[in-house]
A and B are shown apart, each in its own frame.
Chain A
Amino acid sequence: MAMDCARRGYNLFLTDMNEDLLDAISVGIRRKYDVDVQSMACDLTDSKAVNDMLSKAQQRGIFFDMLLNVAGIDCEGGFTERTAFEIKTMIGINIEATINLTHEMLDRRCESVQIEQKPIYIVFVSSLASLYPMPLKACYAASKRFLYDFAYALGRELEPQGVYVTTLCPGGLATNEESIEAIAAQGFWGTLTTNAVEKIARRTISKVLRGKRTYIPGIINCTLGMASKLLPRALIAWTIQRRWQKARLQRATVVLSS
């Protein structure tokens, strides 16, 4: 999405915990699109660090038109198979970090004199998983559900102040080797619900600028999203549990055979 924003001519301010990767992507975007890219490594779960980062950005004269809350991690496996620390870390990044950053940014916007001049767009990257109760990914799906409902409510609450909120609910995304393996292990349904990263990035930004509240990419995923509202939750949870169990078995077989 950063690439797509740069393609549209936006200057970027990037943040991540990994400073080396931030530097590399900043250099790449700058070379490719000739836009101004600034970056700062930050642990978004630390509200003081977020405050410092935004203060520095303000000192540099940066004002934000759009906030893309993409940072998030998956925590696959049964609840008891993961340590409490792993689960808390995931919730910290998926929820706490997002709240920290969004709140700090909106606070600063209210303080500044620009309040009535420009709308601000906020994007939350949730997941298709947010639409269902999801055994074997219970905490992940619940954390994304939080974002889904929170974003919708926040959008309603702040729309009169010119704050437009969009929630993105993509299916699988093949961004690296592990995700390709995970998608392959899910078989037919995995492939069917997988979205093309480049298309989603482009369309999400377009929809954000049009003020759309929720974006579920792909016809299949939209249908599945609709089904989640019509079918009994017990049936959904049972079906999903079977699917994940099968996928886990498939992945275990692949790992053993390799």
Chain B
Amino acid sequence: MKNTVIVTGATSGIGFAVCEALLGAGYPVIGVGRSLEHCHKAQTAMTKGHPDTKLRFITADLLHQREVLRAAREIERAVSDFGGGIHALINNAGCVRSRYMTTEEGYEQQFALNHLAGFLLTQELLPLIKRDNAAVINTSSTSHKMMQMNWNDLMYQKRYRPLYAYKQTKLCNMLHVYHLRASGVRACGIDPGLVRTEIGNKNTSGIVNAVWNIRMKQGISPEQSAKIYLSLCENGFPGIYYGIGKTGTNKAGAIACELRTNRQINSSNAERLYEVSMKLCGLTNPIKSKKGIENNECTDNRGKWWLRQSNGNGLREARI
């Protein structure tokens, strides 16, 4: 029996198509979606197409870290119910915002969902991922190229530039992949290409909506992109970044080709982002709070393990 694949943002767009492709290939799938209604709809549609496969949907709004933590626990339970282990974790959930909006924690939403949610979920499932030698696949984008990390204002709080904020999160996805590979986890980023999804029309307004509606018409279908994910899941991957090749493969059917990445994807940036992300996720900085998320993490055995690991890697000491 094949191991389970976990897909976030699985109720629509690329995530939905990837789930269908994986179910077709016989993988048990755990999908994560934001809306209960959409999860039901997606599950019904997928079960109809693939009646004999193992499929479970978990409803969680990954914008908020408490929901990511809950989703991770539910995923662990679902994996154990399915039997076997994890084959791959596909961090696909993402969003586009045209205005500065924040999560419950006060983090900018694109940064929180596109990068931090995937980062935290991966960290939470890391023991399982390492145990099963599973792959971590991040949905990045070619827009991460020609972009640098805005270290002075990671969340564009001083002056919000929606497009730059989005591109930076995609660069973060690649830096996350780089760091995972350096620590011995099989990981890669994927450029799904320009895909006809509704990402640019959810909670956006004005010019972002208009530009996306025009661009979307030139895009490929989510099913074509899904073939890259399936190909990498089935055949493995030596490289760090894959997408649809340039030589006419768009129309002939997507085949995963290794692509060149940004020079910004290097060990110093990856290490710095890792350190910042660990802190923002409360994994290295369990301080003063008398109640709330942090203390739970501190008293958790796995939390202590992370604390030791991060100190062992020469990262900033936890401030207690």
A residues near B (Cβ < 8 Å) are 2-4, 7, 21, 23-32, 34, 36, 174-177, 180, 183-184, 191, 196-199, 202
Contacts and interface: CB of A to CB of B under 8 A. Distances in A.
Given A7-B157, A196-B100, A28 B106 contact: yes
B289 A30 contact: yes
Contact of A198 (B64, B157, B203, B282): B157
B101 interface: yes
B231 interface: no
B100 A24 contact: no
B16 interface: no
Nearest to A184: B205
Interface in B101-153: 101-107
A191 B205 contact: yes
Contacts of A32: 106-107, 280
A198 B66 contact: no
Given A36-B288, A191-B206, A198-B159, A27 B100 contact: no
Nearest to A194: B99
A27 B99 contact: no
A26 to B, nearest CB: 7
20 contacts: A3-B106, A4-B157, A21-B104, A23-B292, A24-B104, A27-B282, A27-B289, A27-B293, A28-B104, A30-B289, A32-B107, A32-B280, A36-B288, A174-B205, A180-B205, A196-B100, A198-B100, A198-B157, A198-B160, A202-B157
B291 interface: yes
Given A24-B293, A174-B101, A31 B280 contact: yes
Q: Which of A4, A32, A36, A177 has the most CB of B within 10 A?
A: A32
Interface string B282-310: 10010111011110000000000000000
State the majority secondary structure of interface residues on B.
loop
Nearest to A18: B104
Interface residues of B, number: 33
A201 to B, nearest CB: 8
A176 B157 CA distance: 16
Nearest to A201: B157
A170 to B, nearest CB: 13
Nearest to B294: A27
Nearest to B290: A38
Contacts of B105: 24-25, 27-28, 31
Q: Which of B157, B280, B281 has the most CB of A within 10 A?
A: B157
A205 to B, nearest CB: 12
Contacts of A175: 101
B99 A196 contact: yes
B107 A28 contact: yes
Contacts of A26: 289, 292
A148 to B, nearest CB: 25
Given A174-B99, A191-B205, A30 B159 contact: no
B158 A27 contact: no
Contacts of B288: 30, 36
B77 interface: no
A36 to B, nearest CB: 7
B289 A197 contact: no
Given A23-B291, A24-B293, A177 B285 contact: no
A36 B159 CA distance: 25
Contacts of A30: 285, 287-289, 294
Contact of B292 (A4, A27, A34, A202): A27
Interface in B49-90: 64-66
A202 B158 contact: yes
Given A31-B285, A196-B160, A198-B158, A24 B66 contact: yes
Contact of B203 (A36, A180, A191, A202): A180
Contacts of A25: 104-106
A244 to B, nearest CB: 19
Contacts of B291: 23
Contacts of A24: 64-66, 104-105, 292-293
A196 B100 CA distance: 7
A1 B154 CA distance: 17
Given A30-B294, A31-B281, A197-B99, 7 more contacts: A3-B102, A7-B157, A23-B293, A24-B104, A25-B106, A28-B104, A198-B156
B41 interface: no
B272 interface: no
A2 B106 contact: yes
Nearest to A7: B157
A177 B101 CA distance: 10
Contacts of A184: 205
A229 B263 CA distance: 56
Nearest to B206: A191
Contacts of B319: 34
Given A27-B289, A31-B282, A199 B101 contact: no
Interface in B265-280: 279-280
B279 A3 contact: no
Contacts of B103: 28
Q: Which of A27, A175, A184, A198 has the most CB of B within 10 A?
A: A27
A184 B107 CA distance: 24
